[in-house]
Amino acid sequence: MKKRGLMAVLLASLLLQTGCGSARRGEPIAGPMPPLTPAVAKGQILFERHCSQCHPGGEAGVGPAITNKPLPGFLIKFQVRRGIGAMPSFSDEHITDQQLDDLITYIKALRRHG
Amino acid sequence: MRLLKLLMAAVLTFSISGCYKIRGSSGGGQTEFKPPRKINSSDIALPSGYRIEPVATKLTFPTGVAFDEKGTPYVVEAGYSYGELWTTPRLLKIEPDGKTTVIAEGGKNGPWTGVVYHNGEFFIAEGGELEGGKILKVSQDGKITPLIENLPSMGDHHTNGPAIGPDGMVYFSQGVATNSGVVGEDNFRFGWLKRNPEFHDIPCQDITLSGRNFETKNFIDPDSKDKVSTGAFSPFGRKTSSGQTIKGKVPCSGAVMRITTEGGGPELVAWGFRNPFGMAFTPNGQLFVTDNMYDERGSRPVFGTGDILWAVTSGTWYGWPDYHGKFPLNEHDHYAPAKGKKPELLLARHPNYPPRPVAIFPVHSSSNGLDFSRNPAFGHAGEAFVAQLGDEAPTTGKVLAPVGFKVVRVNVRTGIINEFAVNKGKQNGPASWLGTGGLERPIAARFSPDGNALYVVDFGVLLQSKKGAEPKTETGVLWKITRK
């Protein structure tokens, strides 16, 4: 059972490293985003302020692409708060828990788009 | 089972972070190029309802476009590129068939970084890598009159702009000499430290230093085995002390200044910028600038600072060399390079807290020339259209994929940035990297006088390697975007 679990983890890791298809979600490539819910709209502004510098539009830049990988919300939160690797950590002074929820909602909407 | 969950979290997190430290850089300039440059509009993606076409090709390092009363476009060619390649700076008239007519030529003091047309005359920013920056007035028959000379532009960044303000004055900007305030190895590699060993950044007002010094090899004297210590706002090898005052003066580094259309002494508008390359006024007279932010290089490398779009308020300090937007560079671990400590602050006191940026562009995107849409027929009236030259990795820092190489539009109220003109493909990148005929390095974007067309100045192929920049002549293009 443990071996199976480990295999699943390694497979997921490989999948996340390579990505699943193009990460491009910009309007010229993927068309305009559908109308945004209030939470998604708030998340979009936060994404521009905190994330897009290193993950431009969700694509790879200084950091890896995040729109072509099936990352669960809890893992994104973990990464944002802990800042593992080259990514800096963002405490609740920078991004409140509510804002982080909005941010995740937007990232998921962006991932679905295109 | 709990251990397995922890392991899963650790492995997945490692996957997200992509193990940045062990991956090589993959910038847009890190490719090969075999001339001639391919040109193919259909390799460029635009929002539905727009089209793009080349207007002029085979330009050498074009940096700006302006229009006369009839709407005829004129382009400036820089005459210099990173990589220390010198050509002749030129003002070219673009004929209807795409051919060019030379209006004026400059000397060996490029790069000419931008042009504006006002009341029958051209105003050009001469970067001034060898003799210092200038603002030139050029008549339609090519007579060149310097309005101001000896601007402090013989370092990393140059004299930029210009733009004509609602007051009828000529606004221009001056980039800083260094990456983050300290002269070091990176400046030696760029070439200018050997030419001008005394050159350094100049503050616009008196500043008090914290007294940080940075020890390096003595690059100026290759035979010397001694190390030297260099402080902020000082020549290479000159140590500073805590509480030391550096006298400010104008003209200065990292500033927006203005002069009359007849010249005279410069007046300071605002300072604390790094490289305010793009300048544009909105129809209601608000000045905006794009500011190229810190690189991960030199004695004081800074990680992860996206370029900034600022709304300029007179008399304000905008944060260089100690802030990125509203955040000081010693804020937590945000700006620490992968192989170093977080930057320490260079100033003991700051003139003011920097304002909030209007928008923050991707790190190393080199977000440059901009203009505002004014015509609802074109669309997005009131938004800023910004040309992104693209990364210069690995020289300026590592990237995992090409950044920039496109035109974006910015909602200046919300700070939201949307792509407008990009190359097609599974990944973003310059045409030479993708092997297509699309955009290479957009450096300026300007609307025609009637607002119906957006012209995009494409600098051309600029490769990058560990040796530095390798620019390619006759690869620049002027593109035109219109509604279908």
Cα–Cα distance measured from residue B241 to residue B256, given in angstroms and rounded to the nearest whole number? 29
CB contact under 8 A, B362 and A12: no
* Closest among B234, B123, B222, B233 to B172, alpha carbons compared: B123
Q: Which residues of A touch B16 (CB under 8 A)?
A: 16, 64, 66, 69, 71, 75-76, 79, 84-85
- Token pair belonging to B193: 């430290």
CB contact under 8 A, A28 and B46: yes
Strand partners, B66: B74
Partner residue opposite B400 with nearest CB, options A9, A22, A63: A63
* Closest among A31, A46, A43, A55 to A94, alpha carbons compared: A46
Q: Which residues of B touch A22 (CB under 8 A)?
A: 426-427
pLDDT of A18 over the 70 cut: no
Question: Per residue in A38-55, pLDDT tens?
Answer: 999 999 999 999 999 999
CB contact under 8 A, B11 and A78: no
More confident residue, B382 or A2: B382
CB contact under 8 A, A60 and B401: yes
Which residue in chain B is spatially nearest to A18 when comparing CA positions?
Answer: B15
Would you state the CATH architecture of domain A2-113?
A: Orthogonal Bundle (1.10)
CB contact under 8 A, A13 and B12: yes
Partner residue opposite A28 with nearest CB, options B361, B399, B419: B419
CA distances from B480 to B250, B367, B453 (A): 38, 19, 6
CB contact under 8 A, B397 and A86: no
What is the percent of chain A where pLDDT is above 90?
72
Q: Which residues of A touch B399 (CB under 8 A)?
A: 60-62
Which residue in chain A is spatially nearest to B2 when comparing CA positions?
Answer: A2
The residue of A53, A80, A84, A92 whose CB has the most chain B CBs within 10 angstroms, and thus the best one to mutate to test that interface, is: A53
CB contact under 8 A, A10 and B332: no
Partner residue opposite B363 with nearest CB, options A26, A61, A79: A61
CB contact under 8 A, B427 and A24: yes
- Sheet of B133-138, strands arranged across: B112-118, B121-126, B133-138, B144-151
CA A101 centroid distance within chain: 12
Low-confidence ranges of chain B (pLDDT < 50): none
| Structure confidence at residue A1 (pLDDT) | 46
Which residue in chain A is spatially nearest to B17 when comparing CA positions?
Answer: A85
Instruction: Please give the ipTM for the structure prediction.
Output: 0.92
The one-letter amino acid at B20: Y
Partner residue opposite B13 with nearest CB, options A10, A79, A86: A79
CA distances from B326 to A88, B289, B311, B357, B389 (A): 16, 16, 14, 8, 25
The residue of A62, A68, A89, A111 whose CB has the most chain B CBs within 10 angstroms, and thus the best one to mutate to test that interface, is: A62
Residue found under tokens 């390694």: A10
Residue range A21-28: mean pLDDT, rounded: 94
| Structure confidence at residue B137 (pLDDT) | 98
CB contact under 8 A, B418 and A69: no
Q: Which residues of A touch B403 (CB under 8 A)?
A: 56, 61-62
| Structure confidence at residue A21 (pLDDT) | 85
Partner residue opposite A48 with nearest CB, options B7, B18, B416: B416
Q: Which residues of B touch A86 (CB under 8 A)?
A: 17, 20-21, 303-304, 338
Which residue in chain A is spatially nearest to B399 when comparing CA positions?
Answer: A62
Q: Which residues of B touch A49 (CB under 8 A)?
A: 360, 415
Cα–Cα distance measured from residue B157 to residue B326, given in angstroms and rounded to the nearest whole number? 23
CB contact under 8 A, A53 and B360: yes
More confident residue, B333 or A56: A56
| Structure confidence at residue B4 (pLDDT) | 54
Strand ranges (E), B4-109: 44-45, 50-59, 62-67, 73-77, 80-81, 85-86, 90-94, 100-105
CB contact under 8 A, A13 and B11: yes
Q: Which residues of B touch A60 (CB under 8 A)?
A: 399-401, 427
CB contact under 8 A, A89 and B424: no
CB contact under 8 A, A52 and B426: no
Number of A–B residue contacts, CB under 8 Å: 160
pLDDT of A5 over the 70 cut: no
| Structure confidence at residue B340 (pLDDT) | 86
Domain borders along chain A are 2-113
Q: Which residues of B touch A2 (CB under 8 A)?
A: 4
Per the CB < 8 A criterion, the answer to whether B82 and B190 are in contact is yes
Cis peptide before B394 (omega within 30 of 0): yes
CB contact under 8 A, B16 and A60: no
- Token pair belonging to A103: 């941010």
List the end-to-end C-alpha distance of chain B, in Å, as a whole number.
60
| Structure confidence at residue B20 (pLDDT) | 64
